[in-house]
Structure 1
Amino acid sequence: MLLLIIFAVLFLLLVQVALPGRYLAIQVGNDAQMGPRDDLPEPSRELARARRALGNLQETLPVFLTLAILSIVLGEQGWLSLAGGALYLVARVAHLYCYMQGLTPWRSVSFLISLLGNLLLAVPLLPHLWS
């Protein structure tokens, strides 16, 4: 089940990687977007938000993937690990939505909830530090 959550998070990453390109194409057209992009205008609000949301995901994703993969390798796929992985996924989807809609403070709340998901993933791994 944790592997399924990992794949869902990676799918979310692909969606977030595609969003800035989509918003750039809307802003400047396909020809300019596929060109060298040397003289682009200031990004639109949506493009800037999509870029920042992607950057934010990229900050937390390595921690999530490390903890989730360690949970699988070390056989720690109990309810706490699954809850942590699911919480991370749901919170990151909410974070993207809140970021794109400009919903404060919900964007920050969803970010903190995703960190809580990572913490829940880490807890079952702690005994392995001493074994």
Structure 2
Amino acid sequence: MSFTLTLLAWSTTLIAGYVLIQSLAYQLDVGVTHGAGPRDNERPLGKMAGRSRRALDNLGQTYAVFVALSLALELSGRADGLSFWGGQLYFWARWVYLPSYLIGVPYVRSLCWLVSVLGLALMFFAVVI
């Protein structure tokens, strides 16, 4: 399997990690009984549950672009060093983004986001150039 498809397959662990952390933080915040119910009367989230929810939402905003670029690289046969580093930057920056957001380290979360977007840009340029 190509590197692009391998990284795309491994990116499912990224989604799973974000969802698992968000789910655990939510359950700890609101309790298992409320979490297992229909959540009709949603209450405001605490700090960790809110941060993990926002981190998951943020990942969702870029993940579709990563998938589309990965598939475009694979189908076009244009995967090269530029796309390799772009995919790596995106993948690993998104892994660092989650704990940096949860811990609340100033500027690190924003830097991680910027690095991940740079990775997407490198993948984009590998497809179109």
Tell me if both proteins adopt one fold, taking TM over 0.5 as the criterion.
yes
Matched AA of 2:72: L
Query: What is the number of equivalent residue pairs in this alignment?
Result: 127
**Identical aligned pairs, as a percentage?**
31
Matched AA of 2:52: A
Contact 2:79 2:127 in 1 (8 A): no
Gaps of 5+ in 2: none
Instruction: Give the equivalent residue in structure 2 for 1:12.
Output: 14
Q: Secondary structure at the match of 2:109?
A: helix
Which residue of the other structure, out of 46, 57, 60, is the alignment partner of 2:59? Answer: 57
Matched AA of 1:64: F
Separation (CA, whole Å) in 2 of partners of 1:25 and 1:97? 18
Separation (CA, whole Å) in 2 of partners of 1:28 and 1:47? 9
Which residue of the other structure, out of 64, 74, 77, is the alignment partner of 1:75? Answer: 77
Instruction: Give the equivalent residue in structure 2 for 1:98.
Output: 100
What root-mean-square deviation, in Å, do the aligned CA atoms of Structure 1 and Structure 2 show? 1.2
TM-score of the pair, normalised by structure 1: 0.90
Which deviates the most, 39-48 or 111-120?
39-48
Instruction: Give the equivalent residue in structure 2 for 1:2.
Output: 4
Instruction: Give the equivalent residue in structure 2 for 1:116.
Output: 118
